[in-house]
Structure 1
Amino acid sequence: MKPDPVNPTPNESSEPTIKPKVPLAIEDALTAAVMGALALITFINVLVRYFTDQSFAWTEEISVFLMIVLALVGGSIAFARNHHIRIEFFVNKCNPQQQRWLGEFAAWLGALMFFALAILSARLVWDQYEYEEISPAIGVPQWWYSIWLPLLSLVIGLRLIGLWMRTRKSS
């Protein structure tokens, strides 16, 4: 059977068979809640704009914040399930042992990047807290929005370490 270039079958040898110890239901529920909040806020804003020719200024600020949270939580889910975006053209040409090693190396590099992002964004949050920056539309402290970047980056880094550990155990 000829492989489909549009929908290639996933490489089964690179998938860890051991499930994560921390349940993914946490991220799944958070994703559903954030998407529901985004839909509700957008729907309310559309109704208000349609019937009154006015707009809630705060909806854009909250929506941008929620989309960032959604992207980070979605990234955590993708890494935990080993369904993240990767370039497999060269990896698929390797033997299973090399594929496993490349997967482990990618997990370590990703974890390193997200731990660095957590540290650097924590410094940003501290500066926002220290200098009492406020958000433009609502006027709440800016760090209320920014604190989620280092926290969720740390979660993604930990999920990548978990992926590495499950990959090591499954082989």
Structure 2
Amino acid sequence: MTRQKPTWLQPIQRVTDALGRLISRIESSVLVAAILLMAINTMANVIGRFALGESLHFAEEVNRILIVLVTFAGIGYAAREGRHIRMSAFYDLLPTQGRRYLMLVMAWTTSALLWMLSYYAFLYVQGVYGTGRVLPVSGIPVYWMYLWVPLGFALTALQYLLTGLKNLLSRQPYLSTKVVDRYAPSEDTPS
């Protein structure tokens, strides 16, 4: 017999699902655009170097910015897809409800640590902003390159916060808001 969710949880579930979808679309769009820009920038630089004998002087700086962006936007994507590396020997031994509660604790602990990292990364970006440094060729302020670090940490922290909430509201353990733990037995199987 399947237990019904209380009706007061349904609006919370809809809001968290909608927020997750919105973040997913934004992150996916940013990742696709950044990777395409990196590829185009690199190809243009190679063509310029070998066909025209002149490199694009700004290509390395642009790619450096894009690599930071892809790295820190990618951690949120990996969290949403349940793709982060995890040590699960103890976790796998637990019954379904034990895994769900442990995942809730792990998700919220990870979220808290990522919020803290986001805060310290923001302070770092403020410090870099205060120096007024710019990239030598393009003249882009250096802090623009590092803005993605606190933003990526914050989006990933939000993802883990939502994963914990999903585990709180669900009967099955979730690795992310949309990925059910594949080792979990079905709801019909007793734990």
> Does the alignment reach a TM-score above 0.5?
yes
Partner Cα separation in structure 2 for residue 156 and residue 41 of structure 1? 28
1:91 deviation in Å? 1.5
User: 1:90–1:54: structure 2 CA closer, same or farther, 3 Å change rule?
Assistant: farther
RMSD, aligned CA:
2.0
Residues 63-142 of structure 1 correspond to what in structure 2 (within 5 A)?
63-142=63-142
Q: 1:5: which partner in 2?
A: none
Partner Cα separation in structure 1 for residue 137 and residue 86 of structure 2? 38
Q: Name the % identity.
A: 23
Residues 29-48 of structure 1 correspond to what in structure 2 (within 5 A)?
29-48=29-48
1:101 deviation in Å? 2.0
Partner Cα separation in structure 1 for residue 38 and residue 134 of structure 2? 22
Q: Which 4+ residue blocks in structure 1 deviate beyond 6 angstroms?
A: none
1:121 deviation in Å? 1.1
Show CA shifts across 1:11-68 (max 9, x none): xxxxxx9873221222112211111111111111111111133322321221122122
Partner Cα separation in structure 2 for residue 154 and residue 56 of structure 1? 34
Show CA shifts across 1:64-85 (max 9, x none): 2212211222221221233322
SS of the equivalent of 1:20 reads helix
Q: Structure 2 stretches of 5 or more lacking a match?
A: 1-12, 172-191
Q: Which amino acid aligns with 1:157?
A: A
Residues 12-51 of structure 1 correspond to what in structure 2 (within 5 A)?
20-22=17-19, 23=21, 24-51=24-51
Partner Cα separation in structure 1 for residue 17 and residue 73 of structure 2? 15
Partner Cα separation in structure 2 for residue 169 and residue 81 of structure 1? 19
Q: 2:59: which partner in 1?
A: 59
Q: Tell me if structure 2 keeps the 8 A contact 1:111–1:157.
A: yes
TM-score by length of 1: 0.81
Partner Cα separation in structure 2 for residue 113 and residue 142 of structure 1? 26
Ranked by relative contact order (alpha carbons within 8 Å, sequence separation 6 or more), the top structure is 1
Question: Relative to structure 2, which stretch is displaced further, 128-137 or 118-127?
Answer: 128-137
Partner Cα separation in structure 1 for residue 132 and residue 110 of structure 2? 32
Q: Tell me if structure 2 keeps the 8 A contact 1:80–1:162.
A: no
Partner Cα separation in structure 2 for residue 160 and residue 82 of structure 1? 10
In our comparison, the structure showing a higher alpha carbon Rg is 2
Q: Which amino acid aligns with 1:78?
A: A
TM-score by length of 2: 0.73
